[in-house]
Structure 1
Amino acid sequence: MAAQFVPYTPDVEDDDPHFDQNVQTVIAKTEAYITESVKAGGTGRALRDAHAKGYGLVRGEVEILDGLPPEYAQGIYATPGTHDALIRFSNGSPHAGADARLGAATGLALKIFDIPGPTLLEDEPDTGTFDYANINGPIFFCNTVEHYLFIQELFLNAPAYFSQGRPGAHRFFTDFVTGKGTLDQDDWAWDEFLAFLRLSKTPPANLLLSSYWTMGAVRHGDYIAKVRITPDPSFAAAVVRRDIDPTSAQEVFRPALEAELQERPYAFDIQVQLCTDLERMPVEDTTVEWPEQLSPSVTVAKLRLPRQDISGPENLEKMDSLSFTPWRVTAEHAPLGNIMRSRKEVYRQSSMERHKLNQQPRTEPRSVAEVLGPAQ
């Protein structure tokens, strides 16, 4: 059985000679946006440059399942057991404000506690925490740091484009495909643009009814994978507030999440999809969806959310003080690919800048109770 899965080797990733230089440019632009967001963002606080608006911080528990096939029982999933967890639900936009203005891209960031072994963050190797930062789409619209340089700028300035109606939208689309005029015609970002269009058509959904994927590939011990956090069907069937209309009120996602969690517990499946074909399941091209018929997603853990009350501004305050990064993982789960590699230092530097501007201590919690208090 193991022979059908592509083994992990370092050469599955491409080397980009301009990587470090481009990452430093992204960091500079990100820090400038975060600094300007204190006045321009409308909240009086420094905002994240993506997933700026959070919808709630939720207490949870991850049960790593026993009896997994050896190809899936890799890294942290090789040891069955239960771990406390925190979940941050958010909107994917770099802007805050009414839900109707932010789009339907949403995220689930997961922090698992009491995970042994050093993380891949050199400045905090011994936190004992393990993060996922997942989005509600199986693909992403950016493959390289070179592309990210102009795509980031477009998204940060999107309100200015789209406030001008159709002409502004046309300029946004043209600038996206051409890299704001920097790309040769043969290199226009058509794959990225088509992925963006696909994701932009994602219908709004209750946060508990969405699936959330790692933005790109990750190492899974001896193999290569993508990780999906998807609703447990039996719990999803019990959700009452299924239809989400962002135009019906200024806030729609958070009230629905609050109400559901006050009334009933919930559960997601944490699933691993192992790579079987690097051509059809590429590491460096995040615009390609990995076909389930080549390799189905297999449940390796349960993410359980007990009934709880997340209402009140203190929940949002505690959520805002936390940091999530796909690089706060052990080496067996390292993010893979050019764009995933860029997130390591970009996330670290942007988190440091945001916490400094908001005068928040930037310390990784050691337990859920340290953040939310003891379970009720």
Structure 2
Amino acid sequence: MSSEYVRYRDDLEQIQPGEAETMARLTDMMRGFSEAMNTRYRHAVRSVHSKGHGLLVGELEVYEGLPERLAQGLFARPGRYPVVMRFSTPPGDILPDTVSTPRGLALKIVGPEGAEMVDGHAGEVTQDFVFLNSPEFGQKDAAGFMKGQKPIQLTVNAPEEIKVAASLGARVADSLTGGKGKLSPMLRQLGGHPYTHPLGETFYTQLPHRWGDYVGKLSLAPVSAHLRRLKGQPIKVLGEIDALRDNIAAVIAQEGGEWELRVQLSVDEKKMPIEDASVLWDESLSPFLPVARIRIAAQDSARPNKLVYGDDRASFNPWHAQAAHRPLGNVMRARRAAYRMSADFRREHNDEPIPEPRSQSDLPEI
């Protein structure tokens, strides 16, 4: 494990030829998803991660005594901040959970006043991170990601029954691969993810952020014993429309939970690139190191007003960020316009404001 950490520099990012056009095309594709779902549901939903499986309200505590390389930005000093966590799955459709896709988690931290924010987020206090339950992004850049979305684009208006049947086929195919190999991420994205409990998963940003003077990726790992026991635990999904939501709610209502936020700092510009999102950063070179703990008291994660808040009144965007935690790389740059479009689309079509919270009082009650 190296002790030499890559220092942040502006030239770590390199704009690609044709990048602006690619990003415009990707945003148009995402708008098409939003328009199709709005027509179907008569209600605007996210372009992706439309179906929420629970909203948790709690607190993040930044650890004391962090070494300089970890004590950066929001985490530069000990503190406690309100948070909300939204569990979701990637499709833009709101489908039964038999269509089993990777598990997503979005985290919003309501930070202190006065921090320098990225352009477009000035005057706000929130810091968002978005995670999936795999450390690998799988595509090199936004162009590759857009290519991977083509099957979804071609089937966006297909009947639900066809999508359910295709998902079951993808799940069988993924089980035959043992969840390994180049096809597995695609099969899981198309509905072949195993029927496992979301609360047992470790989540990853997959893509890099600035970490103050350094560069890193983040993970969010369950640390409560009852959550760790859920790793890989199967849940009954067949015949259950909202199995993920119900299973999350049952656990959180009884015991709440705790997660640890960790950062993996880059130690090699070539082995841990910024612009090639397909490269998995080797944990033997630089492990994920703890910086904070999230505590969630026992609560009803599926209470209707919480679900409405998460689905309609909140926007989770990695560009809701302090300058010290600015998203980095081509895919993150592409997300900027796409995420903003998705929130604007919901705001305009639902006639629903989506303000950023400034304090605990702006969040749903526990």
Q: What is the TM-score when the length of structure 1 is the normalising length?
A: 0.84
- Determine the C-alpha separation between the residues in 2 that align with 1:293 and 1:2: 9
- Determine the C-alpha separation between the residues in 2 that align with 1:304 and 1:277: 33
Distance 1:229 1:158, change over 3 A: farther
Residue among 355, 363, 366 paired with 2:355: 363
Q: Corresponding residue for 1:277?
A: 268
> Do residues 125 (structure 1) and 122 (structure 2) align?
yes
Distance 1:334 1:313, change over 3 A: same
Residue among 202, 209, 212 paired with 1:218: 209
- Determine the C-alpha separation between the residues in 2 that align with 1:253 and 1:278: 39
Residue among 215, 221, 230 paired with 1:230: 221
The residue identity in structure 2 corresponding to 1:129 is T
- Secondary structure, counterpart of 1:5 in structure 2: coil
The residue identity in structure 1 corresponding to 2:320 is R
> Do residues 345 (structure 1) and 337 (structure 2) align?
yes
- Secondary structure, counterpart of 2:98 in structure 1: helix
Q: Corresponding residue for 1:151?
A: 148
Residue among 54, 57, 68 paired with 1:56: 54
> Do residues 196 (structure 1) and 186 (structure 2) align?
yes
Q: Corresponding residue for 2:31?
A: 31
> How do 1:314-325 and structure 2 match up within 5 A?
314-320=305-311, 321-325=313-317
Q: Shift in Å at residue 158 of structure 1?
A: 4.3
- Secondary structure, counterpart of 1:52 in structure 2: coil
Q: Corresponding residue for 1:83?
A: 81
- Determine the C-alpha separation between the residues in 1 that align with 2:134 and 2:2: 28
- Secondary structure, counterpart of 1:254 in structure 2: helix
> Do residues 14 (structure 1) and 14 (structure 2) align?
yes
Distance 1:353 1:146, change over 3 A: same
- Determine the C-alpha separation between the residues in 2 that align with 1:262 and 1:127: 31
Q: Corresponding residue for 1:179?
A: none
**Deviations 1:133-186, CA, capped at 9 Å, x for gaps:** 1111101133323223333332233464994989xx99xxxxxxxxxxxxxxxx
- Determine the C-alpha separation between the residues in 2 that align with 1:118 and 1:192: 41
Unaligned runs of 5+ in 1: 171-190
Q: Shift in Å at residue 317 of structure 1?
A: 1.0
Residue among 94, 97, 102 paired with 2:95: 97
Q: Corresponding residue for 1:5?
A: 5
**Deviations 1:82-135, CA, capped at 9 Å, x for gaps:** 10111111011222110112x23111111111334132242x411211111111
Alignment: residue pair count: 349
> Do residues 135 (structure 1) and 132 (structure 2) align?
yes
- Determine the C-alpha separation between the residues in 2 that align with 1:271 and 1:10: 24
Contact 2:200–2:231 (CA under 8 A) maintained in structure 1: no
Contact 1:241–1:260 (CA under 8 A) maintained in structure 2: no
**Deviations 1:13-33, CA, capped at 9 Å, x for gaps:** 222131122212222222232
Q: Corresponding residue for 2:175?
A: none
Unaligned runs of 5+ in 2: 171-180
State percent identity of aligned pairs.
29
Residue among 285, 288, 304 paired with 2:279: 288
Residue among 110, 113, 130 paired with 1:113: 110
Distance 1:142 1:236, change over 3 A: same
- Determine the C-alpha separation between the residues in 2 that align with 1:49 and 1:238: 33
Distance 1:109 1:237, change over 3 A: closer
Q: Shift in Å at residue 345 of structure 1?
A: 1.4
Distance 1:362 1:303, change over 3 A: same
- Determine the C-alpha separation between the residues in 2 that align with 1:130 and 1:312: 24
CA RMSD, aligned part only?
2.8
Q: Shift in Å at residue 230 of structure 1?
A: 0.7
The residue identity in structure 2 corresponding to 1:231 is P
The residue identity in structure 2 corresponding to 1:8 is Y
